[in-house]
Amino acid sequence: MTGLVGESLYALHWNNSISVAIITLVSYDYVLQFGKEVTFVWTRQWSVMTYLYFVVRYFGIVIAMICATWGGLFYIPEAVSHGIFVFMQWSFSVYFCLAEVILIWRLYALHNQSKLILYVLLGLLLPIVALYIAVDAFLWSRPSAISVQEITLTPDIKYCTAFFHIGPMPAIYASIPVICYDICLVVLAITVLRKHLKERQECKMKPNTYVVMIVRYHVLYFVLNLATQIIMAIVWAHLTTVMLSFVLLFKDTAPLIIVPRLIISIWDTHANEDCVQISTMFENCVCWTRPTELEQPEVGSCV
C-alpha cells in the first residue's frame, strides 16, 4: 500500500511539473508573438488565412490550458474529469484538421489559386476528418478502451488519471492514412518548388523567398505531424511515468505553438522585405508569384 501511494505521488509530481511547463511555454510564446499579432492581424483587413490563424492560435491556447490543468494541478471530480478528457482528444483532432486546411490553402495559392487543386485536396480531406471522428469515438471516448479514475492519496490530495486498456495497434493503424495524406501534401509542395527553381534557373534569377519558405514549412509541418501521430499511438503502450510526461509535454505544446508561428512568420518576413505592393495582404501580393524584375512600384505607396 505504501509503495502504491509513493508511486501515485511520484506520478502526481511529474504531472504537476509538466503542467507548469506547458503553461509557461504557451504563455511565453504568446507574449513573444503578441506584438506581431497586433500588427498583422488586429490592425489589418482580415483574410481567410487571418481567420485560420485566429482559430489555431486561440483554440490552441484553450487546448493547452485545459491539458495543463487536467489531471492533478487542480482537483476535478471524476465525472467531470472524464468529460474534459474526451473533449481534449476531440479538440486535438479538430486542431489537426484545421492545420491541414492551412496547408491546403497554401498549396492552393502556390498553384496559382487552382480550384481543381483546392477541391481535390478538400475532397481527400473528408475521409481524414471521418477517420478522426471514428478514432475519437472508438478509442478515446469508450470507457472499455480508456477510462478515467480518481486516485485518493489523502483526504486532501486527490487527482484523476487515465488508464489505457488496449494496446497501441489500433492507433497506429489509424495514423497511417493521415501520414499518407500529409505525404501527398508535401510532395505537391516540393513539386511546385522544383518547377519554380527550374524556371528561375532558366531565367537566371534567384528563387522566390516566399515559395521556398512555404515549401519549407510544409516539410516542417509534415515532420511535426508525423511525430505527433507517433506520440498519439505510443501513449497507449503503457509508458513509464517519466517517458509519458515528456511525450505529453511535446504533444500539448509543440503543435499548438508551431502551427500559428508558421503563419505569422511569413507575414513578418513579407512586411520586412522591400515589397513594392506594401499595402496588399500577403495572400494577394504579387511579390511571391511574379518575378521581382517584372514588378512595378505600387502607385501612392509610401515607406
Q: What's the pLDDT at 101?
A: 92
Residue 163 φ/ψ, nearest 5 degrees: -120, 125
Sign, CA torsion 153/155/157/163: positive
Confidence bin at 23 (pLDDT 50/70/90) = very high
Q: What is the pLDDT of residue 44?
A: 82
Phi, psi of 230 (to 5 degrees): -65, -45
CA angle 267/270/271 to nearest 5° reads 85
Does the structure show a pLDDT above 60 at 219? yes
Residue 268: φ, ψ to 5°: -65, -45
CA distance 12 to 20: 12
Instruction: Give the pLDDT confidence score for residue 2 in this predicted structure.
Output: 59
pLDDT of residue 280: 47
| Average pLDDT of the residues in 127-146 | 90
User: What pTM did the predictor assign?
Assistant: 0.85
Say if residue 103's pLDDT is above 70.
yes
Please, which pLDDT band fits residue 262 given cuts at 50, 70 and 90? confident
